[in-house]
Structure 1
Amino acid sequence: MSNNNSNTNLSVAHRAVKQLRVEASVRRIPVSQAATDLKNFCMQNAQKDPLLMGVPSGDNPFRPPKSCGLL
């Protein structure tokens, strides 16, 4: 029974080492560079962002309904 348990532990350890090797091989960039890239992307696309520029009322499906009055 203990042999099976040690094989399981060894298998788990091998998988953990394999995963750590994969993570260690990932290319990384400094946080300052990532922040600069993100800022530049946001500034370049700000004119297309409906949250910043708003949506034209004719294209807005969520505009308040117009009231209809009978005279």
Structure 2
Amino acid sequence: MSSFHLPDMSCGHCVAAITEALKAADPEVRLEFQREARTVQVQSRLDDARLAALLSEAGYPPAAG
């Protein structure tokens, strides 16, 4: 499972947009959101670099570190 800090994620719309973007690339992706902490745990067949790219393309670039 991969973890990403998404500083721009703040609401349910953000969660929906992220879910849609990642499910389009991996229909079996599993996501666990912590909106208050602005993090998402991702279980996917895709590697971290591809997941980070998809998050960025959706408008939610992961924070470095």
| Greater strand content | 2
TM-score using structure 1 length: 0.23
TM-score using structure 2 length: 0.25
Return the structure number with greater relative CO, CA threshold 8 A, min gap 6.
2
| Greater helix content | 1
